Amino acid sequence: MDQETFSAVDAFIEETLVPPDESLQAALDAAEEAGLPAIQVSPPQGKLLQMLARLQGARTVLEFGTLGGYSTILLARALPAGGRLISLEANADYAAVAAAGIARAGLDDVVELRVGPALEALPALAEEGLGPFDLTFIDADKVNTPNYFAWALDHSRPGSLIVADNVVRGGTLADGSSGEEATLAQRRLHEMLAAEPRVTATTIQTVGGKGYDGFTIALVC
């Protein structure tokens, strides 16, 4: 198996199971035009995120890492009337592209973007009494994934889901000698999950158009 096969299968899944969507395509096109990196979730993985939010009946979502708003739009669409999604993005230029796409998708009354490093935005969320969040999607700077997870857990309720993307990192997750900071952070995340009585969690390896990686899902007990 090789990357060509993984990409072909992802394309097949997208063609068969992920119908074309004008707003999502417009968000991707705007992101490309503005020179944003194409590091959003793949269409099949985005659909899984959306299904998780729907399965759970999520009304409140917290997202770390907006980029051009692709996963934001998918998640926001899963929410019922009155639902709310807060997305944290460090890069103001990326957030502006996302905001336009979110407005184009008719979701600006559902989504609130907060611009700045996520760790700095968190105290205000707590002060404003936002949360508990039914679903948290962690997809920002990977070195901080354990910090985001710890905060999300403290602002969840029993039954909340916390999803963290890009944890397998080409398989380096299993390499105890890796000195790469983002990998060390994912290993730390797994240690936290193993020791944390408030969650039950698993990690799923993925291949696809974006290579070999994986995501963690933690269910708050």
Ligand X SMILES: C[S@@+](CC[C@H](N)C(=O)[O-])C[C@H]1O[C@@H](n2cnc3c(N)ncnc32)[C@H](O)[C@@H]1O
Would the CA dihedral through 188, 94, 52, 175 be positive or negative?
negative
Binding track, positions 99-138, relative to ligand X; x by CB under 6 A: ------------------xx--------------------
54's CB contacts (< 8 A; 6+ apart) are: 78
3-class secondary-structure state, position 114:
strand
Q: Of residues 71, 136, 145, 156, which one binds ligand X by CB under 6 A? A: 71
Region binding ligand X by CB under 6 A among candidate stretches 61-69, 177-185, 196-204, 212-220 = 61-69
Q: Does residue 89 bind ligand X (CB under 6 A)?
A: yes
Question: Phi and psi of 113, rounded to 5°?
Answer: -95, 135
Q: Does residue 42 bind ligand X (CB under 6 A)?
A: no
User: Which residue, 40 or 206, has its beta carbon nearer to ligand X?
Assistant: 40
Region binding ligand X by CB under 6 A among candidate stretches 8-16, 67-75, 167-175, 191-199 = 67-75
User: Which residue, 24 or 220, has its beta carbon nearer to ligand X?
Assistant: 24
Residues 147, 151, 154, 160, Cα dihedral to 10°: -100
- Structure token digits, residue 68: 């051009």
The Cβ of residue 28 has, within 10 Å, a number of other Cβ atoms equal to: 19
User: Which residue, 4 or 142, has its beta carbon nearer to ligand X?
Assistant: 142
User: Which residue, 7 or 91, has its beta carbon nearer to ligand X?
Assistant: 91
Region binding ligand X by CB under 6 A among candidate stretches 33-41, 52-60, 77-85, 197-205 = 33-41
Q: Does residue 65 bind ligand X (CB under 6 A)?
A: yes
Q: Does residue 40 bind ligand X (CB under 6 A)?
A: yes
3-class secondary-structure state, position 159:
coil
Question: Phi and psi of 220, rounded to 5°?
Answer: -80, 130
Cβ neighbourhood burial of 134 (10 Å; 0-12, 13-18, 19+): buried
Cβ neighbourhood burial of 92 (10 Å; 0-12, 13-18, 19+): exposed
Q: Does residue 94 bind ligand X (CB under 6 A)?
A: yes
User: Which residue, 154 or 221, has its beta carbon nearer to ligand X?
Assistant: 154
Instruction: State the residues that interact with ligand X by CB under 6 A.
Output: 39-41, 65-67, 70-71, 88-91, 94, 117-118, 139-141
